[in-house]
Structure 1
């Protein structure tokens, strides 16, 4: 929880994904963060088990969603 609270970018990316499956460009638009930052944040969140990449073989058009743990964190943020 503290890991997420320390960064507004992490919070905004997680809340953008709430109950959705999105590509980084869509997350960037919803969270008003540049795509390159979104990609970095998604990598951090994935390593912490908060989001999952649904199509890891794809080089373009990658899609992400919250894990159950990520959903729990988003609920606590709200």
Structure 2
């Protein structure tokens, strides 16, 4: 695994929040709506939406359906997959 400064910053950012970490883990092999993510990790949808916005700013997730207002689907970016692999390697 590469250990450049930006990658380490992203890993640290995700690990600092159990919710962010759980979102990354949940999106491992699927597309999901904020409601599906919230239901799976037991967090209110409005909070999930805020967390997804933050994760998008760090280029860890992306909205695969930007033209849709309700029921948007999210997935991991390559950076998000990198962070996911790091998290899984530490279990």
Q: Using structure 2 for the length normalisation, give the TM-score.
A: 0.82
- Structure 2: tracts of 5 or more residues without a match: 1-10
Where in structure 1 do 4 or more consecutive aligned residues deviate above 6 Å? none
Is residue 2:51 matched to residue 1:41? yes
Alignment length (residue pairs): 78
Cα-Cα RMSD: 0.8
| Residue 33 (structure 1) shift | 1.2
Structure 1 spans left out of the alignment, 5+ residues: none
1:29-49 C-alpha deviation (Å, 9 max, x unpaired): 111111111101000001110
Aligned to 2:17: 7
Taking structure 1 as the reference length, the TM-score comes to: 0.94
1:69 Cα offset (Å): 0.9
Q: Distance in 2 between matches of 1:30 and 1:76?
A: 21
Structure number with larger C-alpha Rg: 2
